[in-house]
Every structure is written in C-alpha cells, then in structure tokens.
Chains A and B, each alone.
Chain A
Amino acid sequence: PAARELTQNPLQKTWEPYDNGLPAGHSAQRGVCMTNCPTLIVMVGLPARGKTYISKKLTRYLNWIGVPTKEFNVGQYRRDLVKKYKSFEFFLPDNEEGLKIRKQCALAALNDVRQYLSEENGHVAVFDATNTTRERRETIYKFGEENGYKTFFVESVCVDPEVIAANIVQVKLGSPDYVDCSNDEATEDFMKRIECYKNSYETLDETLDKDLSYIKIMDVGRSYLVNRVMDHIQSRIVYYLMNIHVTPRSIYLCRHGESELNLKGRIGGDPGLSVRGKEFAKSLSQFINEQNIKDLKVWTSQMKRTIQTAEALGVPYEQWKVLNEIDAGVCEEMTYEEIQENYPLEFALRDQDKYRYRYPKGESYEDLVQRLEPVIMELERQENVLVICHQAVMRCLLAYFLDKPAEQLPYLKCPLHTVLKLTPVAYGKCKYVYLLYKSGYTHQER
C-alpha cells in the first residue's frame, strides 16, 4: 500500500495522515509524555504526613504538563457522608460503625476513580487516603489490575514531632472537622486520631513489597527509596517528588519593562526598553531592595528587554533561553491589525483555541509549556526567585502555580510593570499579590 497523504492541521500546524479525506490512525503526537495505560497513584502514610499536600501538588504538575489527572480524597468522601465529625473515636480500630463507613467511602472513591480513568479519559488518578495496611493496599492493587491500571504507591514517612505538629497547625486546625473546636482541643483530638492508625500501620517493606512499584519519601525529602519504576510517567513522578520541598519562600514573576515594540503595538522581536520601561526597571530595583529578600536569585530570558530590566537591579542574574517569549513565527514584529489583514484565517483560528494554536513557523502555548518544564522543575528546587520574563511565558508559569487549566491559561492577566508575588500556603496552593502596579498595557482581550 502506498504511503498515506499528509495534511497539516490548520490550528496546530501538525502533519497528520489521512485516508480518503478523513484523519487516519497510526500516528501519535508526543506531548510531554505519553501514557499508554492509566496510572493509579496510591498515597500511603499516617495522618499529617503530607499525603494531601503531595497529592494536590502532583495533580497540579501533571495537569500542567498535559497529563489529565485528578485526585480523590477519601477524607472528603467521609465528610460528605458523615455530616458532622464528632471525635477521634470514629477512627478507633474496633469501631465497627466507623470501619463500615470508611470502607464504603474508599469503595465510592475507587468507583469514581474507575469512572475517571476508564470512561472520562483521565490518565492518572491520585487516591489520597492513609492506606496504611497491606490488606487495604492489596485490595486497591487488585482493583487496578482488574481495570488495566498501573499502580504506583507514594508513601510518606515522618517521625519528626516538630514537622507533624507544624502540619497539624497548618492544615488540620482549619479543617471542617474542627470548625467548632479550639486549637488545643483540635490538636489533642488529632493526635489521638493518629494513634488509632499506628498499631496497624504496615510501612512499605523492601522484602514483603518488593514486587510493587513505589517511592517512599522519608523525613520530608531527606531520603527516598524507589522501587521498580515501570514507565516514563512513573519516572517523571519520582523526579518531581524528589525535587519539591516545603521550605517557605516566595517566587516573584514579572515581565520586562515596556519595550520599543510594545510602544508600537508590535509583538515579538528583540527590542530594547522604552523610556517608561527603563523607569520600571529602576522602580523594580528599588522595590526589590525594600523587600529585603534573603538570597534572591534573578532569572531572565535571553532577550534584550528582560536582560536590560535585570541589569538595573545591579545583582547577578542568570539568562535562560527557554524563558524567551513565544515565537510568533511569520507574525513576529507585526501588529495585531497587520496579522488580521495579512493572515485573517490565522487570526481567527487563534481566537478559537488560543492554547493549542501554533503560529505558522512559530509556537503555541502548548509548546511553551513543554519548553518551560525545566524552569518549573528548577523553581521547585529553589527558594526565593525573581523571574523577569514575557507575557505568554508568565501566563504559563502562573497557570502552573495557580492551577489554571489550559483553556484559561492564555487569558491570564499579566500586565506590564506589575510584579506578582507567589507564596505557597496550605496544600501547596499559592497566595498571590500584585505589587508595583503602574499603567498597564492593554493586551488583546477575548
């Protein structure tokens, strides 16, 4: 049989084979990573060991890199079923009623997992519960096998009482379970809750569990035990989990100062700063000094406008080519009006699906995310960082930190002359603050 003809997808500019005018199979796009069969990630650990923190962060990361992921928190199922939490006694190992309800919740959650992975095109499900007994893990593993999922366990082990106490203060005191309690009452009850699990806790064992795929995280990332990583996605998950930390810090994001091309309403290019842009750079320098940030790292792209902005700070900075603005291909240095005039079809297509739209001979937001993944990974490793970048780039980074889906990403507000300060709070979410807002630049709004 002759080779099939190729057509170019007008939105993404990718070449796809077609048969008799219809798209054919036998070709796959590698986004960032391919998952063949769905993956079930199973959290393991006593309460207050950071399981939910890890679940949420991992889910946010996987979704950002384009792997549809959802977390299923069994505690939430329990709260929905048992309207009012009374006390730790619910979790006593001999509380028949409690055990019955907890098992029911776990099964309900697994059922939703099955629906997500097998019916709703989810790729990864994160099953967030204590799963502290071998028996419970065996049940879940069998469930995975029956449905054709690969199971990967993530255990968090921590014996440091200070870390546990800090966790309780940070996330448990504000839980709906303790809404009517004082802090002391809540802490006391929660410590007793943990005790309920301790006697039956069977940690993942090098011998007994040698055939399972897992990562055991010890003491908030001081050390890791990794067993039988099966595929690409598990390898990426392990790498990510080994790079995140919980040390408090802040990430500052901003765009370069206004550029000469910004003034003319032209996109892309490699222009220098305008007069107003230089003023911004000076204000930025003052602002950074006032903030008194400990060991601040400064990163820029390799485009003149971000470097000029950083130069005004008078501190060492690192240039990353991958922080360069989105490549607008044939539309580089044009105004939106010129684009609409010269490439009306392209202009219309971009509005239809701004995330996947790739400029002819250029990039899409989707491409940008893949390009920026190493930046995110290194931001996770680092502490205080100021990233001076560009509008589309900043939108991608922001979408990661604020957990914004692909549809919203290209419309996130990132005006010129504004610094966004991101500070992680509970469960890895980010609190953000707009600082140093001056006259913004109107970007194309939907």
Chain B
Amino acid sequence: AWASYMTNSPTLIVMIGLPARGKTYMSKKLTRYLNWIGVPTKVFNLGVYRREAVKSYKSYDFFRHDNKEAMEIRKRCALVALEDVKSYLLEESGQIAVRSSALKIVLHQGSSKLPGVFRHLIWGLKVFFVESVCDDPEVIAANILEVKVSSPDYPERHRENVMDDFLKRIECYKVTYQPLDPDAYDKDLSFIKVINVGQRFLVNRVQDYIQSKIVYYLMNIHVQPRTIYLCRHGESEYNLLGRIGGDSGLSPRGKQFSQALKKFIEEQEIVDLKVWTSQLKRTIQTAECLGVLYEQWKILNEIDAGVCEEMTYAEIEAKYPEEFAMRDQEKYLYRYPGGESYQDLVQRLEPVIMELERQGNVLVISHQAVMRCLLAYFLDKSA
C-alpha cells in the first residue's frame, strides 16, 4: 500500500495546551485527515474519561491544582486512557493515537506526573507533541462561546456563568502550565508549537514522514469561516447512454443544469469564490456557463476505469464477469484492470484536500467517484 512507508512504528501524538486553545479541534481534524489518507488513527480525549469518572461536573474547583481528591481522579483517568492507547496501538493495529488533554507534561526523571507514560521506548512508540499556544483573548473567548457553552459540563448553558466558570478553569491550569521549551528543557522532543491559531509555528526534531505530513497539514489548516461547494458536472452524453468514463460533452439537460448552477451561484453572493474543474470536457463545459475564472486540475479527473472505460455496466458484466463481481465485494480497494481504485483516487486527491484547507470559498465541479472521496474526507466517512 502506498502508505506503508509512512509509519513503521506506531506514533502517539500528545496535544498540549491550556483549555480553549483548539486542542480538541486540531485532534479531531488531524485524526480525520490521517484516517482519510489511510493511516488508522484514533482520538483519546481525557475530558471524556473524566466525565465518565465524575458523573456530574460542579464547578471549576475540580480543576484547582491543590484539589488533591480531584487530582487523584484525573491521574487515574490519564492512566486508563493510556492503557486504552496502548491497546489500540499495539493490539488493534492502530497507527496513531492522539491524546487530547489540558494536563501539563512534566518530563524529568523521577517526578513525572504520569509515570512511564512517555517512556515510549518501552512500547516502541514514537511520540510527537502538538502544542497550541494562544494569548489573544478574543480568540479564547470565541472558542469558549463556540464549544464550551454546549459542553456536557454545562447543561444549563447559561452563557455568562459558563464563560465565568470556564475562565476560572483556565486560571487553575495557568498556575502550573509549562509550555514546551525548545531551547533547553524540551530540545530533544519532537513537536510542533502552533502559535495564535497558525500565525506562527515552531517545529522541533521531526523524526519521520508521518510527522512531516502532520506538520505540513497543521500549517495549512485555518479557522476562517468559509464554505466549500461540491458538485458533479452536468449530465453528459455518456451518462445518457449509461457509459462510464470517457470524455464526452454535456447533454442538453446537462447544459440546463449548468445554467441553473450559474443562477444558484449568483444568488448565493459568495465572496471571492474560486472555481475548480477537472480536465475532462464535461466539468469544464459546466464551469464555462458560470462566466467566471476557473482552474483546471488534472488530478480531479474521474476514476480511470482502465479496460472498462466507455462501457456500460451491462457490457462490463458480460465481458469481465469476475471483475464485475470483485468490484461489488470490495469497492474501495478494487482497481479496474489498467485503471484505478478508490484508494488510488484518495492518494491522487490529497493535494486537492490540502489546497482546499488553505483556501476560502471554493466550488469544486468534479465527478462521482472523485466527489465521493472528497465528501468522505469532509464528513469523516470510512473507506
């Protein structure tokens, strides 16, 4: 598989940072991306473990660093989580576990808060830290409003109370927070420090391919609000004939769709919309109707059906009955003879996803198989 060179030994990604710094946001996004490109990844969120252990959250007092009872509970949760991490990576063939928590990491000999946790060598694990540092009070307030207000910890959701309690929760952590120190203490660790939501990054000791991809991904994502529009080309001549692939033009109904698409896009009044198509005639014709600038990407071309190109499904079943049956069995991995599989498509489309992450408002006019791959990435659908 193409991803085989990516991970030799399993990797543990540890998120670090005060509350409301986007750790869970980044964990989930990163996990979604890694799973999509074929690297089995799972998130272990300590907050979830804590909520399991302490059925009902009372107040920020739980997080005070001098609250001994609470500290015991949190420590136990961390250990349980780590056991689950170990089980996922070593027994369930996971490749990457992402640990998301606000616990500070104390990593010197002997007085480690979580004994043995980062003695990863015992497990043959590589550890990569992702720290999110933010000192912009507006960003933090916005985070709290967006995600904390609707957290299970605050069922009444009274905004002001939530904000107040949560800010005090953050203060509890600040007392003992020790950011990663690349110049001295933590200079031998592998990590990326994301500063102020991606304005600046500090990257230290990237060990391998997967860490390099993780860094590249984190450096390309942003949190500006925007919308991505996905659609297929209008109906093509081959669609009408029930033939797959090829490079046919739009049917009359396809042309109608293009006109309707134009109207729709105009009504939406989207700011600075970019339009992307494949290099096949049918998507380009669809874009032409919009009367705006568009970019053609060869890698957005439809899946190559190899020897089955331009055939109908009936013809394929007649001529290649074994192939036809196999495709139904394992549609994701199945590769057309002389053509591609959905798995190949995902690899081919990765630069599109990376660029979509960088961009703002984009309309992608593509094809059925291609659109399925892109959709699976955004909606976190499995292979």
A161 is an interface residue with CB less than 8 A from chain B:
no
**Interface residue A200 (Cβ < 8 Å from any Cβ of B):** no
Report yes or no: B206 in contact with A242, Cβ–Cβ below 8 A.
yes
Interface-located stretch among A68-76, A219-227, A402-410:
A219-227
Tell me if A34 is interfacial: C-beta within 8 Å of chain B: yes
B284 at the interface (CB under 8 A from A): yes
- In the complex, the answer to whether B219 meets A370 with C-beta atoms within 8 Å is no
Is the Cβ of A30 less than 8 Å from the Cβ of B202? Answer: no
Q: Is A239 an interface residue (CB 8 A)?
A: yes
Known: A235-B358, A238-B219, A367-B298. A4 touches B212 (CB 8 A): no
Q: Is B292 an interface residue (CB 8 A)?
A: yes
* Most chain B CB inside 10 Å of its own CB: which residue of A1, A4, A225: A225
In the complex, identify which listed stretch (A21-29, A141-149, A187-195, A391-399) lies at the interface while the others stay far away.
A21-29
Q: Closest CB-CB distance, B283 to chain A, in whole Å?
A: 9
Q: Is the CB of B288 within 8 A of A370?
A: no
A152–B89 alpha-carbon span in the complex (Å): 40
The answer to whether A232 has its CB under 8 Å from any CB of chain B is yes
Using Cβ atoms and an 8 Å threshold, which residues of chain B touch A332?
Answer: 338
Bound: A8/B201 CA distance, A: 45
* Contact B344 A28, beta carbon cutoff 8 Å: no
Which of A15, A206, A361, A378 has its CB near the most chain B CB atoms (within 10 A)? A15
Does A84 reach chain B (CB closer than 8 Å)? no
Cα(A238)–Cα(B198), bound, Å = 14
Residue contact A232 to B298, C-beta cutoff 8 Å: no
Which residues of A from 162 to 176 have beta carbons under 8 Å from B? none
The answer to whether A226 and B212 touch across the interface, beta carbons within 8 angstroms, is: no
Is the beta-carbon distance between B347 and A243 smaller than 8 angstroms? Answer: no
Please encode chain B, from 236 to 265, with 1 for each CB lying within 8 Å of some chain A CB and 0 for all others: 000000000001010000010010000000
Complexed CA–CA distance, A65 and B309 (Å): 30
Beyond A28-B296, A321-B2, whether A225 also contacts B200 by CB under 8 A is yes
Say yes or no: A27 contacts B296, CB within 8 Å.
yes
Which residue of chain B has the shortest Cβ distance to A243 in the bound complex? B212
Given contacts A26-B293, A30-B295, A34-B295, contact A381 B205 (CB under 8 A): no
Contacts of A320 in B (CB 8 A): 2
Within the assembled complex, what's the spacing in Å between the Cα atoms of A314 and B358? Answer: 43
The reply to whether B298 and A222 contact each other, CB–CB distance below 8 Å, is no
Q: Using an 8 Å CB-CB cutoff, how does the interface string of A92-136 with B read, 1 for contact, 0 for none?
A: 000000000000000000000000000000000000000000000
A3 & B288 in contact (Cβ 8 Å cutoff) = yes
Complex Cα distance, B216 from A232, in Å, reads 12
Query: How far, in angstroms, from A208 to B369 measured CA to CA in the complex?
Result: 49
Residue from A222, A226, A242, A361 with most neighbouring chain B CB atoms (10 Å): A226
Output the nearest chain B residue to A231 by Cβ-Cβ distance. Answer: B358
A15 touches B203 (CB 8 A): no
A to B contact number (C-beta, < 8 Å): 108
Question: A313 an interface residue at 8 Å Cβ cutoff?
Answer: no
Instruction: Give which listed residue, A15, A29, A228, contacts B199 with CB less than 8 A.
Output: A228
**Chain B residues closer than 8 Å to A225, beta-carbon distance:** 200-203
B40 within 8 A of A: no
**Knowing A27-B284, A27-B293, A239-B216 touch, does A223 contact B209 (C-beta < 8 A)?**
no
Q: Let me know if B355 is at the binding interface, CB within 8 A.
A: yes
Chain A residue, CB-CB nearest to B337: A270
Min CB gap A423→B, angstroms: 22
Whether a CB of chain B sits under 8 angstroms from the CB of A425 is no
Q: Which residues of A contact B293 (CB under 8 A)?
A: 26-28
Residues facing B in A294-309 (CB within 8 A) are none
C-alpha spacing A332/B181, complex, angstroms: 57
Considering the complex, give the chain A residue whose CB is closest to the CB of B291.
A1
Flag if B295 contacts A222 (CB, 8 Å): no
Structural contact, B295 and A28, CB atoms closer than 8 A: yes
Q: Which residue of chain A is the closest to B255 with respect to CB atoms?
A: A3
Docked-complex contact A224 and B202, CB < 8 angstroms: yes
Q: Tell me if A3 and B219 are in contact (CB < 8 A).
A: no
Given the interface pairs A238-B219, A318-B4, A321-B2, the reply to whether A3 lies near B200 with Cβ below 8 Å is no
Per-position 1/0 for A226-249, Cβ under 8 A of B: 111100100100110011000000
* Closest chain B residue, CB of each to CB of A360: B247
Q: Does B374 contact A (CB under 8 A)?
A: no
CB <8 Å contact, B220 and A226: no
A6 to chain B, nearest CB (A): 6
Nearest to B294 among chain A residues (CB) is A27
Tell which of B204, B209, B289, B338 touches A3, judged by Cβ atoms closer than 8 Å: B289
Among B4, B288, B295, max chain A CB count under 10 A is at: B288
Judged by a CB distance under 8 angstroms, whether A14 is at the interface is yes
Chain A 1-40, CB-CB to B under 8 Å as 1, else 0, gives 1011010100000110100000000111110001000000
Q: Which of A14, A223, A243, A367 contacts B296 (CB 8 A)?
A: A14
Query: CB distance A235 to B203 under 8 Å?
Result: no
**CB-CB < 8 A to A6: which residues of B?**
249, 281, 284-285, 288
Of A15, A223, A228, A321, the contact of B279 (CB 8 Å cutoff): A15
Bound complex: CA A14 to CA B283 (Å): 12
Contacting pair A232 B358 (CB below 8 A): yes
Q: Which residue of B lies closest to A224 (CB)?
A: B203
> Once the chains bind, are B203 and A223 in contact (CB under 8 Å)?
yes
Interface positions of A from 266 to 325, Cβ below 8 Å from B: 270, 318, 320-322
Known: A239-B216, A318-B4. A227 touches B199 (CB 8 A): yes
| B202 lies within 8 A of A223 (CB) | yes
| A321 near B205: Cβ-Cβ < 8 Å | no
B200 touches which of A15, A29, A227, A381 (Cβ 8 Å): A227
Q: Is B297 an interface residue (CB 8 A)?
A: yes
Residue of A nearest to B341 (CB): A321
| Complex: A232 Cα to B280 Cα, angstroms | 24
The chain A residue with its CB closest to the CB of B200 is A227
B273 within 8 A of A: no
C-alpha spacing A320/B52, complex, angstroms = 44
22 A-B contacts (beta carbon < 8 Å)? A6-B249, A8-B281, A14-B279, A15-B296, A27-B293, A27-B295, A28-B293, A29-B279, A29-B296, A30-B276, A30-B297, A210-B200, A222-B204, A224-B201, A227-B199, A228-B199, A229-B219, A239-B216, A332-B338, A361-B247, A378-B5, A381-B209
Q: Beyond A14-B296, A26-B294, A378-B209: 10 further Cβ-contacts under 8 Å?
A: A4-B288, A15-B284, A223-B205, A224-B201, A225-B201, A227-B199, A232-B355, A239-B212, A321-B344, A367-B298
Binding site for B on A (CB under 8 A): 1, 3-4, 6, 8, 14-15, 17, 26-30, 34, 206, 210, 222-229, 232, 235, 238-239, 242-243, 270, 318, 320-322, 332, 361, 367, 370, 378, 381
The 9 lowest CB-CB distance pairs between A and B, nearest first, are: A223-B204, A3-B288, A226-B201, A224-B203, A3-B289, A30-B295, A227-B200, A15-B284, A30-B297
